[in-house]
Amino acid sequence: MRRRRVLHLGLGGIAALGVLSRTGAQRAMAADRHETFVYVSNAGTKDIYVLGMNRETGELTMVEKVPVPGSEKISLVSLPIALAPNKRFLYAQLRSEPYPVSTFSIDHTNGKLTHLNAAPLVDQMAYINVDKTGKHLFGASYTGAKVAVYPIDARHIVEDKATQIIDTRPKPHCVFIDASNKHLYVPVLGADYIMQFKFDASTGMLTPNDPPTVATKAGAGPRHFTIHPNGKWGYLITETTATIGTYSIDKDKGTLTEAAYVDTGDYNQKDSAFASDIHITPNGKFLYGAVRTTSMLHGYKIDHEKGTLTGIGKWPTEKTPRGFNIDPRGKFLLAVGLDSASLTVHAIDQESGELKNVRQYPMGQQPNWVEIVDRIHD
């Protein structure tokens, strides 16, 4: 991928974000005009970049850089973040002792974050998520082999005493709650299966569904899971073999049944492909998956009747793309590179789903997570 030299100057190269020549007052005025904000967590520098986004062009403008407090050590390889369902609060956990999860409020006039509190969790989490009521935080600990649920109080702050801690097989990597807020899914890389839970929002408790697990192929390494906007199909990306599976979802029971798998072709049958993240456009037409070893994004068209996938192409992106996301209108895909310390905005063709590079921006060290929020008008 062609890269502009100025984009590798870190914060000194902030001209790439189009704000170098502006005064503080001008930047504040520009931020107030943004209708969408992007949040990128950087594990190496333990901070979150807040960026204003132009909905029409995909252009990003730096708003602020916010430290994530609570530990003197770096956050290992990732710094997972999650949004409250009302999009007014953001949660971020450092993956170093005492494993603090921070609560930030979001100012929707300018996108800025205000740190409210930090509470220690039982372990470092590879993935965190929030239930649909905004009253419970879920975490999956890859290194600690456990799933945890923590209450979120009336101030939207995560409490430091867990509601429930469940031991799992090695390497659970994701926690995903469905739209009904009744069913939760946890891919477990070391066990080659997806755990299925029932969730009671009134108590914050998880109980195994029937069956409690759904197996993948041996050695596949299930990693991240997501659900189609229509709620009928779930999609799983496997880290080791870089395949993507389609699962039908029983509406009442919330259980998964394998329908089909597609192969990205990025697995060499010897070493792990280190596939990473998976997301679907809001209109449900296209699905994308990232592979770290090849630094590629793979795109698929979703069959609107069967939910199965048909490949539409693959495109180079940032080096070691651990995380990406899609804006609420499905016009842009934003991918960050763990080893490039940059973010690339890709435009999504609305008819074909093909990706086109728009622009690259410098981030902090080891960027790994992207969340995108539309401005709320009170």
Q: Where are the domains of the chain?
A: 5-374
pLDDT digit string, tens, across residues 280-295: 999 999 999 999 999 9
Query: Model's pTM, two decimal places?
Result: 0.92
- Whole-number pLDDT of residue 49: 98
Phi, psi of 354 (to 5 degrees): -65, 150
Tokens linked to 73? 């050590």
Q: Which residue has the higher pLDDT, 4 or 29?
A: 29
Q: In angstroms, how far apart are the furthest CA atoms of the chain?
A: 60
Phi/psi for 104 (5° steps) reads -120, 140
**Averaged pLDDT score across all residues of the chain:** 93
pLDDT value of position 76? 82
Can you give the pLDDT at residue 31?
A: 52
Report the pLDDT averaged over residues 343-359. Answer: 98
pLDDT digits (tens, 9 = 90+) for 307-325: 999 999 999 999 999 999 9
CATH number, span 5-374: 2.130.10.10
Predicted confidence band at 297 (pLDDT cuts at 50, 70, 90)? very high
For residues 299 and 273, give the distance between their C-alpha atoms in angstroms, rounded to a whole number: 17
Mean pLDDT for the stretch of residues 87-108:
97
Q: How many other CB atoms sit within 10 Å of the CB of residue 32?
A: 12
Quickly count: other Cβ atoms within 10 Å of residue 98's Cβ: 12
Q: How confident is residue 16, by pLDDT bands cut at 50, 70 and 90?
A: very low
Q: What percent of the chain has pLDDT over 70?
A: 92
pLDDT of residue 376: 86
pLDDT of residue 19: 40
Q: What is the DSSP string of 22-37?
A: S-HHHHHHHHHH-SEE
pLDDT digits (tens, 9 = 90+) for 246-293: 999 999 999 999 999 999 999 999 899 999 999 999 999 999 999 999
